[in-house]
Amino acid sequence: MTHTIDGAGRTGGRWNPRYMWPVVMWLALMLVLVFFGTGAFVAAVQGDALAFRDPGIVDALSRTQGIDPYIEGHFGWPGLFALRSPMSRSTHLAEAPWPVDDVPAPLPSTPSGTARVERVERAGQWWLLSDLHLGVSEDDPRCPGRVLPQFLCREVLAASGPQHVAFVGDTFELVGFAEDESLARLESILTHHPDTFWALQACAARGVQLHFVCGNHDAELARPSVAARLSELLSPAEPARVRVYPWFLHVPHVLVAEHGHQHHALHRMPEVLRVAINGTDELDLPPLAAWNADPSRSPLRRAGALVRACLASERAERRVRKLAYFQLLQAESLRLALDEVAVRDLAHLSRFRTVSALPVAATRMLLAAAGRRVTGEQAPAAAGRFARTLEAHGSGVAWYVSGHTHRALEAALEACPTRYVNTGTWSSDVRGRGPDQSDRRAFPYVVVDVTRDGATSGGLRYWRPDSA
């Protein structure tokens, strides 16, 4: 039997592995040149403005032949991956900045012996924010670790009725560490932000449900031991008050919240649910993470790491369509209270493809370096696909919430009644056209009010510490 090889290097209509390496090497070389070449075109930023203004990237051409700018790389502060370093396990956290007796008495407990989302009481208020990027120091000029406690005390604890606070990813700088290092770093972060630690603990003690959706900067939070430690620290009396989601949060017929990096090819982790088994120990780095893992290496070695990461992502995309990963999706569907087929379809909405990801990224960076960054007021195409998939399976929601882009935005979704909201960032790496771009005292968040009959209202808001 003979096979024909067409001009694209495919045998019998499929990619021939012999031709894959040259194609990937050529694409990687092009991206490397762009990484190093755009720096000469990017203007310097004054001191306290944003010291690490990234070149930026724009997304693939949409169906309307426009450029979708919202899913972009996170090249700037506070960095994609923290360097691994030996850390001593912290066993004592800082003492409370206010007397424990001042914490309001807890509300009557509610059934919370399981993490199943359908047990969540929907009625009440949902407060959603993301991208605080809390690390082991407070070197961001906006000081999110100091502002967050004020927000929680003045807004959440002052509200009546059932309250939920959801952090939609990149809450902590916690990724790329082994298990012991992850535990030590989590405790170190909370030690360096004692006001935040005690405000979160006060919320849990008052009966507020705390939800942490993992992002590309805090993927290790999904480790069973790390998630358990976070629950133990923030709510020692009732650990179920703190819940961690490796992929997304689903409140039936109300909202879904995901960080959004799964729809950005260079950040995507195809086997994201495996993080909730043993962290990222057995997972390959996403392409952009592989490139940034060790900036001290030579360009050639970094390019090699990028090529290997691209091929690893391709292999991972094939594995998520096999039985072993289907079993993880089935378990996640039970936890999310979603139809199994719906969860499987959501997992396959976005996919890493080398032949499209690298040229698109290079094009975005070149356009941005030439001063042609496009910042429209439209929701990303992936959000619409996600919401329409839920609707097709009879699980439509009123709100789709994400973060990742650092671009606060509220917009309508195409051909779908779901409302899109991006929570922006509380760090100094602000993008987009919102008031937080020029006003450092404006911190974006999303609020969703849910009545007992399921009706919802709310949207994107900005909180200013001096306004209360």
More confident residue, 397 or 85: 397
Give dist(CA 134, CA 151) in Å, integer: 16
3-state secondary structure of 26: helix
Q: For 282-311, write each residue's pLDDT tens digit.
A: 899 999 888 888 889 998 898 899 889 999
Query: Smallest Cα–Cα separation from 216: which of 254, 265, 179, 145?
Result: 265
Query: What secondary structure does DSSP assign to 66-101, as a single string?
Result: -B--SS----STT-SSPPP---PPP--PPPPSS-GG
Residue 220 has pLDDT above 60, yes or no: yes
Query: What secondary structure does DSSP assign to 219-261, as a single string?
Result: GGGGSHHHHHHHHHHH-SS-GGGEEEESSEEEETTTEEEE-SG
Entry pTM: 0.77
Give dist(CA 100, CA 197) in Å, integer: 13
Say which residue the tokens 């360009």 belong to: 299
Give dist(CA 297, CA 35) in Å, integer: 14
What pLDDT sits at residue 328?
96
What lies within 8 Å, CB to CB, of 369 at 6+ separation is 37, 38, 41, 42, 55
Residue 196 has pLDDT above 90, yes or no: yes
Q: For 33-82, write each residue's pLDDT tens digit.
A: 555 554 444 434 333 333 333 333 333 333 333 434 333 343 333 333 33
More confident residue, 24 or 222: 222
More confident residue, 27 or 65: 27
Q: For 76-116, write each residue's pLDDT tens digit.
A: 333 333 333 333 334 444 444 434 334 333 333 333 333 44
Share of the chain above pLDDT 70, in %: 70
Share of the chain above pLDDT 90, in %: 59
Average pLDDT score over the chain: 80
What pLDDT sits at residue 367?
64
Give dist(CA 390, CA 109) in Å, integer: 32
What pLDDT sits at residue 321?
94
What lies within 8 Å, CB to CB, of 453 at 6+ separation is none
Give dist(CA 285, CA 436) in Å, integer: 32
Q: For 240-288, write each residue's pLDDT tens digit.
A: 999 999 999 999 999 999 999 999 998 999 999 999 998 998 899 999 8
